[in-house]
Structure 1
């Protein structure tokens, strides 16, 4: 009798597919060397604060010891930065882990989870892993005047039911780059009953420049069913260390702590995140540089008669009005890695991270050649 591990897995796991991280970048780095232009993972090419690098080096002698299981020093720093209590913060191995953890703690086969079409890929994965029923609400239409493919909060609110347990929102959203303002979020939260938890993922919050969007954090004291997740992977450029955090009511954080893995954040991540958080001047410098490059790249792409979605992130989504696979392949052959969007149901689109000028120019040069071909 043959052994079938898949058949032994529980029903929720059997239906899952592993998260697709895109191209095998370690192999590509060997193939292309320093000539590889990596613009597919929304990383921060400006790098972390020098203070974060120094903190990692200082932590090296204690590598044989376990990290602080509570992350107490970082929680103190985050509480001061966010103006909240330490027991309202949950630390995670990136915000990805926290989004999964929330579903593990609060969703099950008897309840449903709402999220938007073209929302972050982890939302349906977390839902299915918890065995909950997924409700994918259509995004705003492509022809929407100001926010094509953005979250349709009014329709999402209308879809809430007695069986709804979680709502996942991303603001700004990955992969579209679109966003909704504070007033729209408040109106939505006022329509959400107390038995529904609302999760707002703000992974790209630090790149926001529009005045109408501040942060969902301002509403946490008013709505105890609100959870806000953030990461140090993007603006703080600590993607390789995998660290994120959530702010919620102390009651919600207490539930999350029951299932959070022991030592889920390593010592170097704790030290680097605390140092990076203290260097807000570096974050401000990065925000300005990326906003400027985002505007420049958007204009250059529009000159090529391409549709570029509005973005408040460190990437842009580009619609080529045809299957983009050939273009993506051509860019790849020229050592430029971008992210195809077929997995999101957007086969005509490519997502391009905002790099430094040299990277952005290399992408444009390769794209111009690809379009000409």
Structure 2
């Protein structure tokens, strides 16, 4: 009998956010609101639509395996050498390539927890040990929601090969600041590759949250991971990129690239998006303004909401999280629950967010246990 590796058999199935059309049909309503996957609420950029129309006629040919044009555009955009840039089929694929490039079985990957849910899965597939360092409160007396950089540095051992810092952190939206991150990078041994996962960098408004590309300079064991899926609106095309200070790091990641995995259309769309950066800046500003409005509305309801530097907000509801998410779905609103911990809510349009807030007002008084007052105050539960 053919059997998969035990590590693969033990992997939990990835559960993407529900399709809103499916939920609407199930509920018998005209539409459901999806605030689960951190997509931007805008249609594709006009230049992207034009690029897709143009390149559609080329899809009978293989894409450029090296993504030369996109690499050159990224190189010019960020002022780095092309040898430092690695495009990939989404940031998740690049995370997998990093694990394949730097982790042998028995080595370790370190990261904060909770953070991006793929990190422990990547370690499991690579046969590496997950070194998970619990989050700490970003404000005194609050819920644990931000990186413990001192704890993360202390957790590095002789087996650690790869270390992820998700900044802003997914799913909590919090971000670590310049001085603390610089101290941390100075403490990590140069044998450990530190990857600053900045999937949500474009939404950062706190001037003290550093651009990872600036901190990368002069640190050969630091690389920065970004994506076109969020602010740039290309979630359906799967294209991300890694920028490494040391070209040898980029070369290693490039060697684990799945041939032709970044499609012709994805490459063309990413180039078109980069050339439309002014419009992206305007769209990001609209998301940030709505993020501030949504945060204020939730806090006005007595809910604990940490300051978010991403395009989503985090509600640390504790034990009732799954119950609240189910009740919201029953009212046509899809969010992203992390059972027993909290609810991640994507910033949508003002109309979508108002639908969410109205549904939440219906749901919270009916939360069974713990008391709704505990949920509202953010008090520890369970």
TM range (shorter): over 0.9
Q: TM-score, normalised by structure 1?
A: 0.93
Structure 1 residue corresponding to 2:97, chosen from 98, 101, 119:
101
The worse-fitting range, judged by mean Cα deviation, of 180-189 and 231-240 is 180-189
Aligned to 2:9: 14
The alignment status of 1:37 with 2:64, answered yes or no, reads: no
Instruction: Give the whole-Å Cα distance in 1 for the aligned partners of 2:174 and 2:104.
Output: 30
What corresponds to 1:140 in structure 2? 136
The residue aligned with 2:333 is 336
**How far has the Cα of 1:339 moved from its partner?**
0.7
Q: Which runs of 5+ in 1 are unaligned?
A: none
What's 1:238 paired with?
234
CA gap 1:289/1:143 in 2 versus in 1, 3 angstroms: closer
SS state at 1:247 partner: strand
Deviates more, 1:320-329 or 1:141-150: 141-150
Measured after TM superposition, the shift of residue 109 of structure 1 is: 1.9
Indicate whether 1:60 and 2:53 are aligned.
no
Whether 1:255 aligns to 2:248 is: no
Q: Does 1:305 align with 2:275?
A: no
- Native 8 Å contact 1:94 1:244 kept in 2: yes
Is 1:354–2:347 an aligned residue pair? Answer: yes
Residues in 1 aligned to 2:19 and 2:32: alpha-carbon distance in whole angstroms = 12
Secondary structure of 2:116's aligned partner: coil
2:312/2:345 contact within 8 Å kept = yes
Partner of 2:206: 210
| CA spacing shift, 1:132–1:269, aligned 2, 3 Å | same
User: How many residues are matched?
Assistant: 364
Shift in alpha-carbon separation, 1:146–1:332, aligned structure 2, 3 A: closer
**Is the contact between residue 147 and residue 178 of structure 1 (CA under 8 Å) also seen in structure 2?**
no
Structure 1 position 226 matched with structure 2 position 219: no
Say which SS state the counterpart of residue 291 (structure 2) adopts.
helix
Tell me, yes or no, if the aligned pair for 2:24 and 2:332 is still in contact at 8 Å: no
Contact 2:115–2:171 (8 Å) recurs in 1: yes
Cα 1:147–1:230 change in 2 (3 A) is farther
Match in the other structure for 2:377? none
Say if 1:367 and 1:88 are closer, same or farther in 2 by CA, change over 3 A.
same
The 1-side partners of 2:142 and 2:202 are apart by 21
1:25, distance to aligned residue in structure 2 (A):
4.8
Instruction: Determine if contact 2:64/2:264 at 8 Å carries over to the other structure.
Output: yes
Q: Quote how far apart the aligned CAs of 1:151 are.
A: 0.5
Alpha-carbon distance between aligned partners in 1 of 2:281 and 2:101, rounded to the nearest angstrom: 35
Q: Distance in 2 between matches of 1:329 and 1:295?
A: 25
* Residues 41-73 of structure 1: CA deviation (Å, up to 9, x unaligned): 111002332111111111111121111111111
Runs of 5+ consecutive residues of structure 2 not aligned to the other structure? 367-382
| C-alpha deviation, 1:26, in angstroms | 5.8
User: Cα RMSD between the aligned structures?
Assistant: 1.8
Distance 1:301 1:74 in 2: 40
Paired with 2:225 and 2:337, the residues of 1 have a C-alpha distance of 25
The yes-or-no answer on 1:365 pairing with 2:358 is yes
**Which segment is superposed worse, 42-51 or 24-33?**
24-33
> Residues 148 and 309 of structure 1 are in contact (CA less than 8 Å); yes or no, is this contact kept in structure 2?
no
Shift of 1:145: 6.2
Matched, 1:290 2:287: yes
Kindly indicate whether the alpha-carbon contact (under 8 Å) linking 1:182 and 1:216 is maintained by their aligned counterparts in 2.
no
Q: 2:174 aligns with which of 174, 178, 181?
A: 178
Q: Does the C-alpha gap of structure 1 residues 228 and 147 become closer, same or farther in structure 2, counting only changes over 3 Å? A: farther
Aligned to 2:83: 87
Q: Does 1:46 align with 2:46?
A: no
